[in-house]
Chain A
Amino acid sequence: MANKVLVADDEIHIIHVVAIKLRNNGYEVIAANNGAEAFDLACRENPDIVVTDYQMPVMTGIELITKMRADERTKDVPVILLTARSFAVSQEQQGSLGVASCLSKPFSPKELLKTIQDILYQRQLAVKC
């Protein structure tokens, strides 16, 4: 069964290009335009991993992660943060929020794909152990 990736970004072109890249590599993609929509989808669709933008209307990426960590249904879902603000999230903040990886915009879709693959592989290993 294909891994499900939730992509949250208010830039429709970013969602589009990430979705094409991931679908071309066998992933199922669901998308949201802001943090609030993304949280609803995360609770409903139970994704394997979430890729979220840092700055979004209604609810930011950080607020989304904080809310996910507080909810039993989503607290263990790994999250990749995409940000155009290189210094917006410190290493400490990433650690405390449980951010699996942080990529700076502009980003390479190949690099994003590899990051997703690595994280999901590590989780599978952890489950087996």
Chain B
Amino acid sequence: MRGQRSIVWIATAVAMISLPAAALAQVQGAGLATGSYSWLAPLCLAACCVGAMGVIFLGIGYSRFAGVITSIAARLRSELPSAMACVCSPRALRALTDAVDARLADGDTMVQRLREELRDLQVRSQLSEREKRHTEAILYSLRDAVLVVDGSDRLLMANEPAARIFGFDAVHARREPLAEVIGRTHPDFVELLRQSRCNRTEATKRELIFTLEDRPHTFEVIISCVQEDGRASGVVAVLHDITKEKEVSQMKNDFVSHVSHELKTPLASITAYSEMLADGEADDEKTRQEFYAVIQSQAQRLNRLIEDILNVSRIESGLIKVRKEQASLTILIEEQMQMIRSYAEEKNIAVTSGHLIVYDQVYVDKDMISQVVINLLSNAVKYTPAGGHVTVGTEVDETARLARVTVTDTGAGIPADEIGRLFEKFYRVSANNKLAKGTGLGLNLVKQIVEKVHGGRVFVTSQVGVGSTFGFELPLATADQVATV
């Protein structure tokens, strides 16, 4: 259409230019016709024809356009007044107003509802955020190590204990691939988590050993695959340190082993000597008396051992009967030194005392404190080689209102890293295991009696190859306690 219009315009323009040129050619006549421009007249005529055609087409086009405009105008003239009258009537206007009002009311309701929904979403978002923080706080407050990875094995969350075990920064390692965070140091663990995710394992329990603070620790590791919409979206690993439980279990086993050995040893003597007597192997009265004495001493040894075991148990459970009275530490210590001397002489060990006289009295269960002293003395003699010395010392601290007793030996000594565990039940110094037998109960009983029953304190200092000093402090008897006697 646009092309047609252009052609028409061009034709009109050619006609406008050609008409004057043709007229001019007629007027000048032969002058031009006989000259070098004789071809100009036919050309102008042809152009005039083309121009005339263009004018005709243009006329047709414009007449059609005028018709369309005329019809629109006629339609407007006939319909507009009735439409305007319809719209502008009061009734229609009211209906329109009501409709607009209703629409506006709907809009308000919708806005209100959206606002409420927005508020609800904000509250939910805050709750969700709070729950997230709460969950994180729970995770971070756990003593167990917790490590969470996503479906692409990237670290989602890890608490401080986990960071300590695996040696990474819990905050900076977030969203990092686990293999990059701990893969170099713990490739097996990374692979275990990956396999759990791939196999969609619900809960796997393993015992794994990791080094923590330069010590191997045993962990019970529970690995669970997190499943969402039937696919594994991550893995949670919880690591519970069971090193202590393992050690206690081992100590219990050792205890049973030690105790059975300790019980069977005197029992072996009693059985053998009884059989010898029954078989008439002791052929003279002196030998028979010797056998009777052995049987008696071994029976007493057995009884002491059983009492030790029971006393530890009774003190721990609070069932032991305590009979406290005013007592002299000096007398108690002297009595026990007399008892240990024969054993010490067998081993060629001298047991001596410094200035033992303590004028102040203590308020104690005499039998129990005697047991404390004999346990310390027998340990000192047991772990001191032949030719050594055991010295007992006492002193009174009037300011602190307590009496202090020390037993110093020239024995094997105790390695520094084992001193802290000496008073634990069943614990035996590994390096000194071969020097003497024992149940690992003696020092624990000392601690229980001194600290739990009498409110005192035990202490120890030691140097390997030089010797050890074990001691205890007891509060001096108060005026009230002395008065009650």
- Chain A 6-45 interface mask (CB, 8 Å, partner B; 1/0): 0000110110111011001000000000000000000000
- Chain B 213-243 interface mask (CB, 8 Å, partner A; 1/0): 0000000000000000000000000000000
Cα A17 to Cα B293 with chains together (Å):
13
Cα A107 to Cα B267 with chains together (Å):
9
Q: Does B279 count as interface, using CB distance less than 8 angstroms?
A: yes
- Chain B 248-272 interface mask (CB, 8 Å, partner A; 1/0): 0000000001001100110111111
Cα A14 to Cα B435 with chains together (Å):
18
A84 touching B269 by the CB < 8 A rule? no
CB of A116, distance to nearest CB on chain B (Å): 15
B281 touching A11 by the CB < 8 A rule? no
A14 touching B272 by the CB < 8 A rule? yes
B261 touching A107 by the CB < 8 A rule? no
CB of B284, distance to nearest CB on chain A (Å): 12
Cα A57 to Cα B271 with chains together (Å):
23
Cα A91 to Cα B269 with chains together (Å):
26
Q: Does B294 count as interface, using CB distance less than 8 angstroms?
A: yes
B275 touching A109 by the CB < 8 A rule? yes
Q: Does A55 count as interface, using CB distance less than 8 angstroms?
A: yes
B268 touching A14 by the CB < 8 A rule? yes
Complex: chain A residue closest to B273, CB-CB: A17
B437: chain A residues within 8 A (beta carbon):
10, 55, 57
Interface residues of A in 70-128 (CB under 8 A from B): 84-85, 88, 105-110
Interface residues of A in 34-70 (CB under 8 A from B): 55, 57-60
B268: chain A residues within 8 A (beta carbon):
11, 14, 84, 105-107
Known interface pairs A11-B265, A55-B261, A85-B257. Does A109 touch B272 (Cβ–Cβ under 8 Å)? yes
Cα A24 to Cα B282 with chains together (Å):
10
Q: Does B434 count as interface, using CB distance less than 8 angstroms?
A: yes
Q: Does B10 count as interface, using CB distance less than 8 angstroms?
A: no
Q: Does B83 count as interface, using CB distance less than 8 angstroms?
A: no
Q: Does B80 count as interface, using CB distance less than 8 angstroms?
A: no
The number of inter-chain residue pairs (CB within 8 angstroms) is 67
Tally of B interface residues using CB under 8 Å: 24
Complex: chain B residue closest to A17, CB-CB: B272
Cα A85 to Cα B263 with chains together (Å):
11
Choice from A17, A105, A107 contacting B276 with Cβ under 8 Å? A17
Cα A30 to Cα B236 with chains together (Å):
66
Cα A105 to Cα B269 with chains together (Å):
9
A105: chain B residues within 8 A (beta carbon):
264-265, 267-268
A84 touching B261 by the CB < 8 A rule? yes
Complex: chain A residue closest to B297, CB-CB: A13
A17 touching B269 by the CB < 8 A rule? yes
B336: chain A residues within 8 A (beta carbon):
none
Known interface pairs A84-B261, A84-B264. Does A11 touch B269 (Cβ–Cβ under 8 Å)? yes
- Interface of chain A: mostly helix, strand, loop or mixed: loop
Q: Does B436 count as interface, using CB distance less than 8 angstroms?
A: yes
Complex: chain A residue closest to B436, CB-CB: A57
Q: Does B348 count as interface, using CB distance less than 8 angstroms?
A: no
B294: chain A residues within 8 A (beta carbon):
13, 16-17
A110 touching B271 by the CB < 8 A rule? no
Choice from B270, B273, B279, B282 contacting A110 with Cβ under 8 Å? B279
A106 touching B261 by the CB < 8 A rule? no
A106 touching B270 by the CB < 8 A rule? yes
Complex: chain A residue closest to B283, CB-CB: A24
Question: Which residue, of A13, A58, A107, A109, has the highest number of chain B Cβ atoms within 10 A?
Answer: A13
Complex: chain B residue closest to A10, CB-CB: B437
A57: chain B residues within 8 A (beta carbon):
434-437
A88: chain B residues within 8 A (beta carbon):
257
CB of B348, distance to nearest CB on chain A (Å): 13
Known interface pairs A13-B298, A55-B261. Does A106 touch B271 (Cβ–Cβ under 8 Å)? yes
B269 touching A21 by the CB < 8 A rule? no
Known interface pairs A21-B281, A84-B264. Does A60 touch B271 (Cβ–Cβ under 8 Å)? no
B276: chain A residues within 8 A (beta carbon):
17, 20-21, 109
A108 touching B435 by the CB < 8 A rule? no
CB of A69, distance to nearest CB on chain B (Å): 20
B272 touching A108 by the CB < 8 A rule? yes
A-B contact pairs, 15 of them (CB 8 A): A11-B268, A13-B273, A13-B298, A14-B268, A16-B294, A20-B281, A20-B282, A21-B276, A21-B281, A59-B434, A84-B261, A85-B261, A109-B272, A109-B281, A110-B275
For the complex with contacts A13-B273, A57-B436, 8 further pairs of A-B residues with Cβ separation under 8 Å are A13-B298, A84-B260, A84-B265, A85-B257, A105-B267, A107-B272, A108-B272, A108-B275
**Top 3 A-B pairs, shortest CB-CB distance:** A84-B264, A106-B271, A106-B268
